């Protein structure tokens, strides 16, 4: 596993603002090697926002993220090198074949032999037969498997998965559970938001609705930039 085995990823007092709506405030989390974190909460409670904050796509207006007690904002490049993010979109190019799509991301992720690891990742997700199929002919489920193959094609310590099981069938979910378990056994960390049950033994739950701010008209002071990020 990557050099970061043994590291702890944590966030403290995170506040996230989208538009002029306060999504969550005072949120703390901590993920140690081998641990998994379930993000739970109703629609709009900020699961996706939190994952995007963790990935560094979104800046929290308050609070800090740290990796081994070093603020992530000190070295955002290093942070990008140790995460894999799976969002709502599959980033599959219609004119490239599955393996070409995957090889590209494996190269960017720093895999030693991108094409080889791409093929192995497809195999691992149970879809070796789609390797030469152009993206435009893939079903939604196959695209999703391709996107998930991306995260095992190149190594990264922390997986941030936003509804990873959308469009997956039962068999694929079971396969994916195994992959997550392997990743965790190797010291990897996972944060998942989902509405479907994914078996992750020993995962901790983070209920985002606990951090939804109660509005009482004094939120104004939260908008002044404190550059705490």
Partner 1 sequence: MTRFLRLIGRDLRLALRQGSDATIAVMFFVLCVVLFPFGVGPEPNILARIAAGVIWVAALLASLLSLERLFQNDYEDGSLELLSLSTLPMEAVVLAKTLAHWLVTGVPLIAAAPLLALLLNMDAEGFGVLVLTLLVGTPILSLIGSIGAALTLGARRGGVLLSLLILPLYIPVLIFGAGAIDAALNGLTPRPHLLLLGGLLAGALPLAPWASAAALRQAVE
- Which of 5, 13, 110, 116 binds partner 1 (CB under 8 A)? It is 110
Torsions phi, psi of 61, nearest 5? Answer: -80, -20
Stretch that binds partner 1, among 26-34, 82-90, 169-177, 205-213 (CB under 8 A): 82-90
Strand partners, 205: 38
Nearest to 143, CA basis, from 94, 203, 73, 206: 94
Residue 57 beta carbon to partner 1: minimum distance, rounded to whole angstroms: 6
- Which of 104, 141, 179, 186 binds partner 1 (CB under 8 A)? It is 104
CA atoms of 27 and 212, how far apart (whole Å): 9
Residue 104 beta carbon to partner 1: minimum distance, rounded to whole angstroms: 5
Residue 55 beta carbon to partner 1: minimum distance, rounded to whole angstroms: 6
CB nearer partner 1, residue 87 or residue 181: 87
Stretch that binds partner 1, among 8-16, 33-41, 103-111, 166-174 (CB under 8 A): 103-111
**How far is CA 212 from each of CA 53, 90, 162, rounded to the nearest angstrom?**
16, 29, 19
Residue 194 beta carbon to partner 1: minimum distance, rounded to whole angstroms: 18
CA atoms of 213 and 62, how far apart (whole Å): 14
- Which of 2, 44, 81, 128 binds partner 1 (CB under 8 A)? It is 81
Residues 33-72 that bind partner 1 (CB under 8 A): 52, 55-59
133 lies in the binding site for partner 1 (CB under 8 A): no
Strands 70-71 and 62-67: antiparallel
Strand partners, 34: none
115 lies in the binding site for partner 1 (CB under 8 A): no
| Residue 111 tokens, joined | 């895999």
- H/E element holding 95? none
Task: Give the interface size with partner 1 as a residue count (CB under 8 A).
Answer: 27
112 lies in the binding site for partner 1 (CB under 8 A): no
Whether the CB-CB separation of 189 and 21 falls below 8 Å is answered with no
Torsions phi, psi of 144, nearest 5? Answer: -65, -40
Which residues would be at the binding site for partner 1 (CB under 8 A)? Answer: 52, 55-59, 77, 80-81, 83, 85, 87-93, 95-96, 100, 104-105, 107-110
């Amino acid at each position: 596993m990557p050099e970061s085995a043994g590291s702890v990823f944590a966030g403290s007092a995170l506040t996230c603002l989208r538009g002029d709506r306060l999504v969550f405030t005072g949120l703390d989390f901590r993920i140690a090697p081998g641990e998994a974190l379930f993000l739970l909460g109703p629609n709009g409670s900020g699961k996706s926002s939190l994952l995007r904050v963790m990935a560094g796509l979104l800046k929290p207006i308050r609070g800090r993220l740290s990796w081994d007690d070093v603020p992530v904002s000190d070295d955002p490049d290093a942070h990008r090198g140790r995460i894999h993010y799976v969002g709502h979109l599959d980033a599959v190019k219609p004119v490239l074949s599955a393996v070409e799509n995957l090889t590209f991301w494996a190269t960017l992720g720093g895999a030693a032999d991108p094409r080889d690891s791409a093929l192995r990742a497809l195999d691992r997700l149970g879809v070796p037969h789609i390797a030469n199929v152009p993206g435009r002919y893939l079903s939604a489920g196959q695209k999703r498997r391709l996107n998930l193959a991306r995260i095992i094609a190149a190594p990264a310590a922390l997986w941030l998965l936003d509804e990873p099981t959308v469009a997956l069938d039962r068999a694929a979910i079971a396969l994916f559970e195994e992959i997550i378990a392997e990743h965790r056994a190797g010291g990897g960390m996972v944060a998942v938001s989902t509405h479907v049950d994914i078996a992750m033994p020993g995962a901790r739950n983070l209920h985002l609705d606990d951090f939804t701010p109660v509005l009482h008209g004094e939120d104004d002071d939260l908008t002044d930039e404190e550059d705490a990020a």
